[in-house]
Amino acid sequence: MKTPKISEAVVRRLPVYLRYLQQLQDSNIRTVSSYELGQKLDMNPAQIRKDLAYFGEFGRKGIGYEVGYLVEKIKQILKIDRHLNCALIGAGHLGIALSNYNRFTQEKLCITAIFDNSVDKIGTEVGTIKIQPLDEIERTIQDRDILIGIITVPAPEAQKVADRLVGSGVKGILNFAPVSLRVPSHVSVRNADLTTELQTLAYYID
Ligand SMILES: NC(=O)c1ccc[n+]([C@@H]2O[C@H](COP(=O)([O-])OP(=O)(O)OC[C@H]3O[C@@H](n4cnc5c(N)ncnc54)[C@H](O)[C@@H]3O)[C@@H](O)[C@H]2O)c1
């Protein structure tokens, strides 16, 4: 069967479903209806059913969704049922905080290499990861099959770092620097920005 083109809005909702389903799993709850999901996530149950139906028939009438099964399915859809190595570049305030957070929360989608260009940082450790010089980025990314780069360097350095990540073969970049990156079309970029989120939020505050 040909997979339909899935909109980004649907893809962005899947991790939201997954996070709540994993909480249910931790509480040993075995089944959940789209109505219950909708109530908890403040979403329309019909929307949830429609989103999940893009990928298959996961629910059963009168019973709902089997939580464990749906968790595994969503992980497969998001392709996070495999180990996916990430490299972080810029071991400053934000980079260290993100690395420490990721270390405790993720088993498979994890930061496995950290780079910086400061002699004060190179060779020091974040958890079990030794910060490497930027010069080692290409070789490390290829040797460790790293597919995602996370940029936490100052804005003027971000494009140069992105170019090196792309040249090393990464397929996705999560960019925290306040700058728009230019990358080839085969590379996906997601920007995370506290300031723009706050500015957007401000619009809704009277
Ligand atoms: N998206 C957000 O919500 C958000 C929040 C805070 C900070 N930021 C951005 O994140 C970035 C980092 O902020 P910070 O407060 O951690 O800064 P920081 O100065 O504490 O850390 C930056 C680190 O990058 C390293 N670095 C600089 N140039 C480099 C290069 N070419 N290659 C490798 N390493 C390099 C520095 O040595 C330093 O360790 C900035 O661009 C900042 O604007 C974004």
Q: Which pLDDT belongs to residue 2?
A: 54
Ligand 1 first shell, C-beta below 6 A: 89-95, 115-118, 121, 134, 152-155, 157, 161, 176-178, 192-194
148 Cα to the center of ligand 1, angstroms? 17
Task: Give me the average pLDDT of each 10-residue run along the chain (206 residues).
Answer: 75 95 95 95 95 86 90 93 94 96 78 97 95 97 96 98 97 97 97 93 92
- Strand-pair partners of 118: none
Q: Which pLDDT belongs to residue 3?
A: 57
Residue 54, token pair as written in the block: 């893009």
User: What was the ipTM of the complex prediction?
Assistant: 0.98
Of all atoms in ligand 1, which is nearest to the CA of residue 192? Answer: 1
Q: Which pLDDT belongs to residue 107?
A: 73
- Strand-pair partners of 191: 175
Point out the annotated binding site for NAD(+).
Answer: 90-95
For CA atoms 187, 192, 105, 167, the dihedral sign is positive
Which are the contacts of 178, defined by CB distance < 8 A and separation ≥ 6? 155, 193, 195
Q: Which amino acid is at 43?
A: M
- Ligand 1 atom 15: the closest Cα is on which residue? 93
Of all atoms in ligand 1, which is nearest to the CA of residue 177? Answer: 41
> What does pTM read for this prediction?
0.89
Of all atoms in ligand 1, which is nearest to the CA of residue 179? Answer: 41
Domains of the chain: 8-78 (1.10.10.10), 84-196 (3.40.50.720)
- Strand-pair partners of 23: none
